[in-house]
């Protein structure tokens, strides 16, 4: 590998967003005298009578959850966007605003309050993938919905308000900024080459073998060349699929298996329930075909040096652009060499 990439300050280009990140590998040698905290224990019961996501419990709006045995979804009682608002615009000189409508849903992964994705069975995660597919199709088919964002915030430091295993879906009329940028870059590449941008990128990564974390017949988990967060990772399907709705039954299980393998490695890194924001980027649901889109799932974990030392976007990163010390190759090597058996079960 180039000495520049391993020892010298350099910038790396994000092919999906058209943005750059500053990498400073020489800084990994500096001593750490910053903030540390005690690692919190994360032992929870299988059922919590005070949890508004557990089966048969009453939520804040008075509705009672069914006695669900697998997955469960419902419209968020406190959604950030709603469908029944008046559609208006505001234009006063340089002040501009437009109303937004949509639906926010909560996706319960399991009735077991004590679990997280790495502790769930592959069958259990496959049921989550099936629910994601169904929600993407049903929400995306609505006339007012042009984008469906599936995501999970894991851990209280990621703003997760409830430890019960769950994620969210925000379906809205506009296409958010990150997917909008990725649509533009993928479309430009597809128009120029007639091929998937991520398909060609994945081929190059598989040849390099420097940033691969785990793989199976249908999916590859890797640390992207342009990763911002210390142990950021991406799952890419080997086939050029624009959305998860195109996955076959066997590919649903493969997707579940690679999610489990990667999240176990996350937990094993510092032997803690590893926090992250994870989400699926896929084709908008605006009625267009979007052959340029190659869906992928990204994970952005904040932990840096241990279970208690976190990465923050401060200083130069807030006013300039993102910067990292641990290179993507270092992070991938650390994750790749970890067991796919959860530390609590080994």
Query: What are the backbone angles phi and psi of residue 139, rounded to the nearest 5°?
Result: -70, -40
143: three-class secondary structure by DSSP: coil
Q: Does 166 qualify as catalytic in the annotation?
A: yes
pLDDT at position 59 over 50: yes
Q: How many CB atoms lie within 10 A of CB 317?
A: 16
> Average pLDDT, whole number, for the chain?
92
280 in Cβ contact with 150 (< 8 Å): yes
pLDDT digits (tens, 9 = 90+) for 276-319: 999 999 999 999 999 999 999 999 999 988 888 888 888 988 89
For residues 220-230, average pLDDT: 97
Instruction: Give residue 35's pLDDT.
Output: 45
pLDDT of residue 29: 56
Burial 226-256 (b: 16+ CB within 10 A, else e): bbbbbbbbbbbbbebbbbbbebeeebbbbbb
**Per-residue pLDDT, 91:** 93
pLDDT of residue 8: 86
* Radius of gyration of the chain measured on its C-alpha atoms: 21
CA–CA separation, 120 vs 109, rounded Å?
9
Question: 126: which 2 tokens?
Answer: 């496959």
Q: What is the pLDDT of residue 84?
A: 85
Q: How far apart are the C-alpha atoms of 28 and 343, rounded to whole Å?
A: 26
Instruction: Give residue for tokens 């997917």.
Output: 179
Lowest pLDDT segment from 59-73, 109-123, 149-163, 272-286: 149-163
Joined tokens for residue 198: 């991520």
d(CA 306, CA 330): 15
Of 111, 155, 150, 152, which is closest to residue 131 (Cα–Cα)? 150
**Which residues in 157-167 are b (16+ Cβ under 10 Å) and which e?**
eeebeebbbbb
pTM, rounded to two decimals: 0.94
SS3 29: helix
pLDDT over 90 for what percent of the chain? 79
| Choice among 147, 166, 290, 294 that is catalytic | 166
CB 210 within 8 A of CB 138: no
Beta bridge partners, 221, equal 214, 235
pLDDT of residue 28: 63
> Is residue 41 scored above 70 in pLDDT?
no
Between these two residues, 4 and 280, which has the higher pLDDT value?
Answer: 280
Confidence of residue 26 (pLDDT cuts 50, 70, 90): confident
């Amino acid at each position: 590998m180039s000495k520049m990439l391993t020892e010298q300050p350099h910038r790396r280009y994000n092919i999906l967003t058209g943005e750059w990140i500053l990498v400073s590998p020489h800084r990994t040698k500096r001593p750490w005298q910053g903030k540390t905290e005690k690692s919190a224990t994360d032992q929870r019961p299988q059922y919590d009578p005070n949890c508004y996501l557990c089966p048969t419990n009453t939520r804040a709006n008075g509705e009672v959850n069914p006695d669900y045995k697998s997955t469960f979804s419902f419209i968020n009682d406190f959604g950030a966007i709603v469908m029944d608002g008046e559609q208006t615009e505001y234009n006063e000189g340089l002040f501009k605003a437009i109303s937004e409508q949509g639906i926010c849903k909560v996706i319960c992964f399991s009735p077991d309050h004590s679990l997280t994705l790495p502790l769930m069975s592959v069958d259990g995660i496959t049921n989550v993938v099936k629910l994601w597919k169904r929600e993407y199709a049903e929400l995306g088919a609505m006339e007012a919905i042009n984008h469906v964002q599936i995501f999970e915030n894991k851990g209280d430091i990621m703003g997760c308000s409830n430890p019960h295993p769950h994620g969210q879906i925000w379906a809205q009329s506009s296409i958010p900024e990150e997917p909008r940028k990725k649509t533009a870059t993928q479309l430009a590449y597809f128009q120029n080459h007639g091929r998937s941008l991520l398909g060609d990128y994945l081929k190059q990564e598989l040849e390099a073998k420097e940033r691969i974390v785990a793989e199976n017949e249908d999916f590859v988990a890797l640390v992207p060349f342009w990763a911002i967060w210390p142990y950021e990772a991406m799952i890419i399907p080997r086939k050029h699929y624009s959305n998860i709705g195109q996955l076959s039954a066997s590919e649903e299980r493969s997707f579940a298996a690679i999610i489990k393998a990667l999240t176990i490695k996350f937990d094993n890194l510092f032997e803690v329930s590893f926090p992250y924001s994870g989400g699926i980027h896929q084709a908008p649901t605006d009625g267009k075909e979007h052959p340029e889109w190659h869906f992928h799932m990204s994970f952005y974990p904040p932990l840096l040096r241990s279970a208690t030392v976190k990465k923050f976007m401060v200083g130069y990163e807030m006013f300039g652009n993102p910067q990292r010390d641990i290179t993507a190759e270092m992070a991938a090597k650390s994750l790749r060499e970890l067991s796919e058996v959860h530390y609590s079960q080994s």
